[in-house]
Structure 1
Amino acid sequence: MKTLLNRIYYDYLVPSQFDRYEELVRLASNAGYLQTSLRSFFSSIPLNGAGPQKVIVHRHDIDTDVCTAKKIFAIEKKLGIKSSYYFRISTLDFAFMREIEEYGSEASYHYEEIATFAKKHHIRDPAEIMKRMAEVRAEFVNNFTSIERRFGLKMTTVASHGDFANRRLRLSNTEILKDKELRDRCGIVCESYDKNLLKHFDIYISDSSRPAPQYYYPTSPFDAIGRHNKICFLTHPRQWETNWRENTKDNVIRFYEGLKW
């Protein structure tokens, strides 16, 4: 019941958090942090692991709400910072993605082929998914190359989406990217959960669907500034402003997929 009430609050009642996001970006800038994309940060890490002294990597996972993502992007452009935006197949917006890249930020793929494959074939056994991983990876390659072709730009990093099917299977979509040949064929240099990326952060913070004032996990990024030099901050635009149309649509689709699976 508590989880359901939290979901209702964040989907339909949460007030706009844009002022808080702008406050965070200004605070970090004034404290001397470089605020950048995952791609830029990863490419800046030399072999000795030095990189920028103070940095926040902003990662936005566009699960449902492109409209809200555009508002976050407008704030970032106004304040002159860069970030990464990862789009699911259901949220692809190629015009917006090109605008992100033209500005100097990053737009790429928020993939979920294990969850999609499991729901499509009514598979609830993770062992069965592993047996058919070659098929799952083939679907990933097809989706990735199709998106890249329509996008017209190279994507070099990707981010796994965490679907309800992944939680029930206890199997992450990151399993797909454990194939080096697949990475080389697609030209993927980094996955957002790669150990050789995460080891360069002092702390990894995500926004949270917990009730106010617990908006973040494991701590507030406001508290992290000044305490930690290298911060990764993951956000989901749907949790920063209520968009009842998109949230209702997503909830209906999720309910239907759960019943059908």
Structure 2
Amino acid sequence: MKSKEFSYDSFIELLQTFLSNGYAITTVHDYLTNENVPDKVLILRHDVDRYPSNTLKMARMEHEIGVKSTYYFRIISSVYKEDVIQEVHDLGHEVAYHYEDLTLVKGNYDKAIKHFENGLKMIRKFAKAETICMHGSPMSKWDNKKIWEKYDYKDFGIIGATSFDIDYDEVFYISDNGWGWNNTSVSVRDKVKTKFDIPIEGTAHLMEMLQTNKLPNKIMINAHPDTFFDPGVKYFFNKILIKSKNVVKRIIVKYKIFK
């Protein structure tokens, strides 16, 4: 691997390694609805937490290599940029809702479901948005996916949620949370229950395991666009920011502050 860790180039290099080793790359929606899922498949997902400009660059780069993925957008003002969402959709990617409604209304379930319905309508200005993904809100005491203990997302035309409709004993989940692949010590809610225990030391190690057939045939990657930058000043300060947040998240995870 020649590219700098968590640069755009390193990410595209990783995707090309998946492709060259026989993996089809698909969206969450297509994985859930395709009756003929390929034997080797990467479900490619992006939780858009910050930096819409990063999102657009990543979406364009994927399009250039013929890859379609899923982009889950928050509806907070700093992320919900209609021109960005429209272009990501026009590039052929799946656009859907990255919901955090319980957190945004401070745990009021009745307000949260109305907020969810409104957020879904905002995303559906651009796409069908038939899948959803919870935003982890790591600094919040509210677990956003618990809204579905009272309500049913299928009542809103949703065919699947990443927290509930993917079998993670069959699909190996990989997230870039905390400037590392499956860095569980700083993952407050960006984690799944799974039988897999496969440590990943970095992108080069991940690519090596792909090339030596040491990974399962079904994989989901959650790559947050705000993790990736071109090398330079923004890359450096973003790395420092993420590492600083890791200090707090490590305490939350260790002491189970948000159960």
Same fold judged by TM-score > 0.5?
yes
* Aligned partner (choices 217, 224, 230) of residue 236 of structure 1: 224
Give me the whole-angstrom Cα distance separating, in 2, the residues matched to 1:201 and 1:82: 22
Q: Does 1:34 align with 2:15?
A: no
Aligned to 1:175: 146
Q: Does 1:65 align with 2:51?
A: yes
Structure 2 residue runs of 5 or longer lacking an equivalent are 183-198, 246-259
Give me the whole-angstrom Cα distance separating, in 2, the residues matched to 1:63 and 1:138: 21
Q: Is the 8 A contact 1:177 1:191 kept in 2?
A: no
Q: Is the 8 A contact 1:36 1:105 kept in 2?
A: no
User: Larger % of helix: which?
Assistant: 1
Q: Secondary structure at the match of 2:216?
A: coil
TM-score by length of 2: 0.71
Q: How many residues align?
A: 209
Report the CA distance shift for 1:185/1:145 in structure 2 as closer, same or farther (over 3 A): farther
Q: What displacement does 1:103 show?
A: 2.8
Give me the whole-angstrom Cα distance separating, in 1, the residues matched to 2:32 and 2:73: 19
Report the CA distance shift for 1:43/1:18 in structure 2 as closer, same or farther (over 3 A): same
1:1-261 matches, within 5 Å, as 17-44=7-34, 46=35, 51-90=37-76, 91-118=79-106, 129=107, 132-148=108-124, 151-166=125-140, 169=141, 171-179=142-150, 181=152, 183-194=153-164, 196-199=165-168, 201-210=170-179, 215-217=180-182, 218-219=199-200, 220=202, 221-225=206-210, 226=213, 227-241=215-229, 243=234
Q: Which runs of 4+ in 1 moved over 6 A?
A: none
Report the CA distance shift for 1:223/1:115 in structure 2 as closer, same or farther (over 3 A): farther
Higher relative contact order (CA 8 A, sep 6+): 1
Q: What displacement does 1:112 show?
A: 0.6
* CA-to-aligned-CA distance 1:113-135 (integer Å, 9 cap, x gap): 111111xxxxxxxxxx3xx4222
Give me the whole-angstrom Cα distance separating, in 1, the residues matched to 2:126 and 2:58: 23
Give me the whole-angstrom Cα distance separating, in 2, the residues matched to 1:35 and 1:179: 34
Q: Is the 8 A contact 1:115 1:165 kept in 2?
A: no
Structure 1 residue runs of 5 or longer lacking an equivalent are 1-13, 119-128, 255-261
TM-score by length of 1: 0.71
**What's the Cα RMSD here?**
2.7
Give me the whole-angstrom Cα distance separating, in 1, the residues matched to 2:177 and 2:48: 15
